[in-house]
Structure 1
Amino acid sequence: MESGRDRLIEAARSMLAAQPGRVPSTRELYEAAGVAAPTLYHHFGDKDGLLQAVTEAAFAEYLERKRAVPRSDDLLADFAAGWDMHVGFGTENPALYALMYGPADHRSPAARTAEAELRRGLERLADAGLLRMEVDEAVDLTTAMAVGCVMRLIHDGGSATVPLADTMRAALMSELTGRAQEPGSPEHTAALLLARLGSAPALFTSAEEALLRQWLRTLADRVTTTHDAPDKEE
């Protein structure tokens, strides 16, 4: 049986999604959850505590999807796939994204974890000699451009597949590394599809999605093996 705490979180998510930009009242929240006011106060202290719990849950969901994006031997392709996943999550969950990256963000543990994972990805680029600025600056730049891109797409009612998202990704990667990942490369195409599979779960059965993931990983592995193999002497 669903607990009062879970019902409050689900009610808050539903109400925020139904009316983006409007924060429901405390009474609206506990009535929508079908609980009494003391239940909300017991679990969260007040409405702000409930919204913070919703934000924490959203970051946890975001991190789960981010960690499901497979890595390849191409750091630039991996970074591009991470961007695509981030933009996709934001445009699919506009109300949650506004909580996660809006002024009400209180740097929850999950938010700090998300930033730490971004930093590790950028440190991998730096270690490979691909980053042309300090990691701290790269973290700030990447966050600013990603959040700005998603907020603009949400404002315009767009999706992660519109040209603006690709243009901003290329601009960011050019600024970070001096070159943009070639969007038509097999590595990037496979990583992109893998990153976006989780955003449309209704399209495939579990077996179909598992098979598609296997094919895409096989393609990426073969491309990497082909690129890394030394040329044979005639």
Structure 2
Amino acid sequence: MKSGRERLLNAATTLLSQHPEREPSTRELYQAAGVAAPTLYHHFGTKEGLLDIVVEQAFADYLERKHGMLRTGDLLADFAAGWDLHIEFGVANPMLYALMYGPHLSRAAATADAELRRGLQRLAAEGLLRVSVEDAAATTTATAIGCVTMLNRLHAAPTASWAQHIRAGLIEQITGQPRDEISQEQAARALLARMPSPGTSFTPAEASLLRQWLAVLATAPDAEQVAPVSSPSRKGSIR
């Protein structure tokens, strides 16, 4: 037979799953668990104490999924994928997310901050941050909370185009590297336009050969296919 504590945790999880848009009342919680009000106070102190544990458990499940993501070898691509999962979690669990980033610092929020900082430190170690880890963490968290809040307010999907623009803007802000997708033709033409003069980075023969290759890519049959631009310095393996 389940203990009163387990029944309250299960009841809270169920109520938040059934009504993800609102916070259950204390009465709803202990009645759904089939226990008396003092049982809740005995095990959790307050309703907030109970909900904090539920949020922490839900976020731990999310982190397990995130840790299982395949690493691409591109730290910025991994950071973007981590952002997408975070936004998806907030949209799928609006009340849990609101509780997580409520007035008091939840354990789930503290865990999220620690995970974020580890990822940002990896970016910094590769020279990919143009701001401090502290500033990047605050900017990323504030941007994510704002994005999730607006998505939930508008009942929009996490893949909304404007949400993708927010992600691209954030990454460019903290790294200085744009993450918009461009065509192969556009990428080749951009490189051709920025080719250094012979003798700076390449010998005349190397520069000539590279120009030939880029010219081929700029007019290749599959030039219409869209592919992300990746910097050769982005190596390593977020969350």
Fold match by TM threshold 0.5: yes
TM-score normalised over the length of structure 1:
0.71
Equivalent position of 1:198 in the other structure: none
SS at match of 1:158: coil
- Is the contact between residue 173 and residue 181 of structure 1 (CA under 8 Å) also seen in structure 2? yes
1:58 is aligned to 2:58 = yes
Mapped partners of 2:3, 2:181: distance in 1: 46
Mapped partners of 1:95, 1:22: distance in 2: 6
Mapped partners of 1:2, 1:66: distance in 2: 30
**Which region of structure 1 is more displaced relative to structure 2, 15-24 or 158-167?**
15-24
Matched residue count: 185
Letter paired with 2:105: H
Equivalent position of 1:125 in the other structure: 123
Q: Among 142, 145, 155, which residue is 1:144 paired with?
A: 142
Pairwise mapping of residues 1-234 of structure 1 onto structure 2 (< 5 A)?
Answer: 1-19=1-19, 22-103=22-103, 105-108=104-107, 110-183=108-181
Percent identical pairs in the alignment equals: 58
Deviations 1:12-36 (A, max 9, x none): 2333444456433322210011122
- Is the contact between residue 30 and residue 36 of structure 1 (CA under 8 Å) also seen in structure 2? yes
The alpha-carbon distance between structure 1 residues 144 and 66, as it changes in their structure 2 partners (threshold 3 A), is same
- Is the contact between residue 16 and residue 23 of structure 1 (CA under 8 Å) also seen in structure 2? yes
Mapped partners of 2:182, 2:43: distance in 1: 49
Alignment RMSD, CA only?
2.2
Deviations 1:111-152 (A, max 9, x none): 322211101111111111111001100000000111110111
- Is the contact between residue 5 and residue 40 of structure 2 (CA under 8 Å) also seen in structure 1? yes
- Structure of higher CA gyration radius: 2
The alpha-carbon distance between structure 1 residues 113 and 23, as it changes in their structure 2 partners (threshold 3 A), is closer
SS at match of 1:137: helix
Mapped partners of 1:62, 1:25: distance in 2: 25
Mapped partners of 2:133, 2:175: distance in 1: 12
Mapped partners of 1:120, 1:24: distance in 2: 34
The alpha-carbon distance between structure 1 residues 19 and 125, as it changes in their structure 2 partners (threshold 3 A), is same
Mapped partners of 2:106, 2:30: distance in 1: 25
Mapped partners of 2:35, 2:154: distance in 1: 36
Mapped partners of 1:183, 1:92: distance in 2: 26
Deviation at residue 6 of structure 1 after TM alignment: 2.6
- Is the contact between residue 120 and residue 136 of structure 2 (CA under 8 Å) also seen in structure 1? yes
Q: Give 5+ residue unaligned stretches, structure 1.
A: 186-226, 229-234
SS at match of 2:63: helix
Deviation at residue 82 of structure 1 after TM alignment: 0.5
The alpha-carbon distance between structure 1 residues 61 and 87, as it changes in their structure 2 partners (threshold 3 A), is same
Deviation at residue 58 of structure 1 after TM alignment: 2.6
**Which region of structure 1 is more displaced relative to structure 2, 5-14 or 134-143?**
5-14
Q: Give 5+ residue unaligned stretches, structure 2.
A: 184-231, 234-239
The alpha-carbon distance between structure 1 residues 183 and 93, as it changes in their structure 2 partners (threshold 3 A), is farther
Deviations 1:189-213 (A, max 9, x none): xxxxxxxxxxxxxxxxxxxxxxxxx
SS at match of 1:40: helix
Letter paired with 1:154: N
The alpha-carbon distance between structure 1 residues 2 and 162, as it changes in their structure 2 partners (threshold 3 A), is farther
The alpha-carbon distance between structure 1 residues 81 and 183, as it changes in their structure 2 partners (threshold 3 A), is farther
- Is the contact between residue 87 and residue 165 of structure 1 (CA under 8 Å) also seen in structure 2? no
